[in-house]
């Protein structure tokens, strides 16, 4: 399950932003993250797809906010106050991803990134492109394009 274009695995080392969603430890490449916000005011959008939590105003731009837990099929968590939002860019659009907890920024050698194990839940498995270990935790590297797309 490797993303076809601009394969980050080809690079020597990749920096990841590591965070938690519903007990799962996940990472996305840091160069896809444009900012991290807390205390975002989200305007709910009725009749939107389930995993869309709403929209928010990010310096004058309207950004769609996705509930990552629901997007990954982990759970449909409600928004907790002060829940961090990662703003990632994909296909020319910035999208906010709500996560439970931010962890760290880690640097991972490309060769240390392993293929995605088969036993992951389906939605999560289809949006991951690799796994690696960081401080004795197994981190699942998400493919931002697929998460957002």
- Separation between Cα atoms, residue 103 and residue 39, nearest integer Å: 17
Rounded Cα distance, 8 and 28, in Å: 11
- What backbone phi and psi angles, to 5 degrees, belong to 125? -60, -40
Question: Pick from 63, 72, 85, 127: which binds another protein (CB under 8 A)?
Answer: 63
Shortest spacing between CB 52 and another protein, in angstroms: 5
Smallest separation (angstroms) from another protein to the CB of 78: 16
Select from 2-10, 20-28, 43-51, 105-113 the region that touches another protein (CB under 8 A): 43-51
The answer to whether residue 79 forms part of the interface with another protein (CB under 8 A) is no
Q: Which of 22, 55, 79, 112 contacts another protein by CB under 8 A? A: 55
Binding site for another protein (CB under 8 A): 41, 43-50, 52, 54-57, 60-64, 66, 91, 93, 95
């Amino acid at each position: 399950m490797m993303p076809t274009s601009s394969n980050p695995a080809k690079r020597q080392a990749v920096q990841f932003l590591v965070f938690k969603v519903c007990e799962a430890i996940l990472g996305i490449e840091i160069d896809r993250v444009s900012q991290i916000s807390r205390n975002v005011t989200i305007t709910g959008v009725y009749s939107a797809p389930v995993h869309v939590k709403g929209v928010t105003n990010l310096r004058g731009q309207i950004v769609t906010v996705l509930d990552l837990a629901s997007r990954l099929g982990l759970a449909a968590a409600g928004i907790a106050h002060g829940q961090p939002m990662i703003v990632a860019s994909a296909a020319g659009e910035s999208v906010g991803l709500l996560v439970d907890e931010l962890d760290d920024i880690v640097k991972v050698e490309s060769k240390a990134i392993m293929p995605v194990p088969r036993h992951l839940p389906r939605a999560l498995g289809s949006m991951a492109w690799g796994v690696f270990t960081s401080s004795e935790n197994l981190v699942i590297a998400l493919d931002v394009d697929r998460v957002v797309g």
